Amino acid sequence: MDAHTVAAAATDKNLELVLKVLPAVVVILLTSAVCGRLALMVWQPRVLGEMVAGVLLGPTLFGWLFPDAQQALFPPEVKSILYVLSTIGLTLYMFLVGAGLDHGGEERGGLHRPVVLAVSGIVPSLLLGGAAGLALSSQLSRPDVDPWLFAAFMGGALSLTAFPMLARILYERDLHNSRLGRLSLLAAAIDDAAAWCLLAVLSAVHLGSGSGSALRTIVLSLVFAAVALGVVRPLLRPLGRAVARAGDMSLGQTYLVVLVPLTAGWLTDWIGVYSVFGGFVAGLTMPRDAEFRRILHDRMMNVVSVLLLPIFFTFSGLNTQLNGLGGGAMLLSFLLILLAAFAGKFFGCSLAMRGLGFGPRESYAVGALMNARGLMILIFINIGLAQGMITREVFAMLVLVAVLTTASALPLYSLALPRRLEEEQRARERSPEKAAPARVA
């Protein structure tokens, strides 16, 4: 850096901030690229490596080994910028997930199967997580948080499925429009929507704003979704036809496409259910033309996934301190929470799939996918930490739950449904003679 640049930075606060943010982003991307590559080498999704990269850049490793360097790289003003960038990234990613969801091949029975699967993932996790939270509240809860509220928060956190994480795993395996992929995605969306409604109620109670505020949040969320899908979606259909005819998206059309999720995210943030759901609903309003979806995905997905999502993982990692979980009591508490998390989702969803008529392999495969929690639980617990509902120790435990349940998802899925059976199932789905879902024994 030359003398002129140094002098300019000393007088220009914006340039000074840029010179702090850019090195942080460079380090984040390099670390995420390396960890993502290492994850692929051990047959894990790249996104799991990016999650681990965020934790490693926090106080657990980087801050422990080089505390001064870590503080210099991530001062408070840089963290604020990273928060904004991560929020934009999550909103756009959820938008792309919603836009890429293929409704045309959805279950013949409508929403019956996704709802049953979602409930089977929510209720056992909510009960087991709540019971674990209640049992551990005297040890883990903040003194100013009611034990029942703490228990409800724990149950809500463990009832989540990492919707964008699940979508990314399915995208990487080209399963996002398969029958099991669509079923899992819709059930995960219902799971997460219910968890966010619960978080809205808990936040209102904890912050003292009363149940009226929570009711307002839920009603406004329903109104927002109804207007988006009933009014905005039909208005955007000509856009899909125009893009599909041209085979490309013009700059004007790109402006419109980007403005829709950002505006939706702003509205849902104002409502109180976080911008990621605004982004997802905005994605559902996009035209269903296959060519439009392909062009949109090609235009935006790589930039969002490579540039913006790793920033969110690092922002979460900066709040994660795993070094304090080494005591025996803390370790036992963590194992109880992890057991509740795994058993509630995996067995609840697997049994529900069996009840819906699927074979054991398909059932265990979906149970494994629904057990991944990574991204959404990180958002959930970041809000809980910011609002003072949980301690940093509980936050760190739940980050570990996110990493371990997500890490187990793909191996358990592959064990239940190996590539050969997966290809056979895809061939049956493409076959014009397919009728009822085939059972994979």
pLDDT in tens, the chain (441 residues): 565 655 555 567 888 888 889 999 999 999 999 998 998 888 777 878 888 898 899 888 888 888 899 889 999 899 889 989 988 988 898 788 778 765 544 444 557 788 888 888 889 999 999 999 999 888 888 888 888 889 999 998 898 887 766 776 676 666 666 777 778 888 887 887 777 778 777 776 776 555 566 677 778 888 998 999 999 999 999 999 999 888 889 999 999 999 999 999 999 888 877 787 788 889 989 998 888 988 998 888 888 888 888 898 888 788 777 766 666 778 888 999 999 999 999 999 999 888 888 888 888 988 888 888 877 787 788 778 877 888 888 888 888 888 888 888 888 888 888 877 777 666 666 664 444 444 444
How far apart, in Å, are the Cα atoms of 236 and each of 232, 287, 383, 407?
6, 6, 33, 38
Residue among 205, 260, 211, 213 at smallest CA distance from 232: 260
Structure tokens given for 107: 């279950």
The residue extents of the domains of the chain are 3-425
Query: Residue 434's pLDDT is what?
Result: 47
For residue 181, the SS3 value is helix
**Tally of residues, the chain:** 441
Helix H, strand E, coil C: the string for 29-93 is HHHHHHHHHHHHHCCCCHHHHHHHHHHHCCCCCHHHHCHHHHHHHCCHHHHHHHHHHHHHHHHHH
| Long-range contacts of the stretch 27-33 (C-beta < 8 A, 24+) | 27/57, 27/73, 28/53, 28/57, 28/310, 28/311, 28/314, 29/306, 29/307, 29/310, 31/56, 31/57, 31/310, 31/314, 32/310, 32/313, 32/314
Instruction: Return the residue matching tokens 């605004």.
Output: 278
- Token look-up 């279950």 returns 107
Query: Which residues, including other chains, have CB under 8 Å from residue 258's CB and lie 6 or more apart?
Result: 92
Domain 3-425 has CATH 1.20.1530.20: yes
Question: 360, 354 in Cβ contact below 8 A?
Answer: yes
Cβ distance 167 to 192 under 8 Å? Answer: no
Query: What local confidence, expressed as pLDDT, does residue 239 receive?
Result: 92
Calpha distance 163→377 (Å, rounded)? 10
Q: Which residues contact 108 (CB under 8 A, 6 or more apart)?
A: none
What does the DSSP assignment read for 126-177? HHHHHHHHHHHHHHHS-TTS-HHHHHHHHHHHHT---HHHHHHHHHHTT-TT
Q: What are the residues whose beta carbons fall under 8 Å from the beta carbon of 69, sequence distance 6 or more? A: 62
Residue 282, SS3 per DSSP = helix
Check residue 336 and give its pLDDT: 92
| Residue 75, φ and ψ in degrees, nearest 5 | -70, 170
User: Residue 95: phi, psi to the nearest 5?
Assistant: -60, -45
Using DSSP's 3-state secondary structure scheme, residue 357 falls into coil
Sign of dihedral through CA atoms 199, 202, 208, 212? positive
How many helices (H) and strands (E) would you count in the chain? Answer: 22, 0
CB atoms within 10 A of CB 361: 18
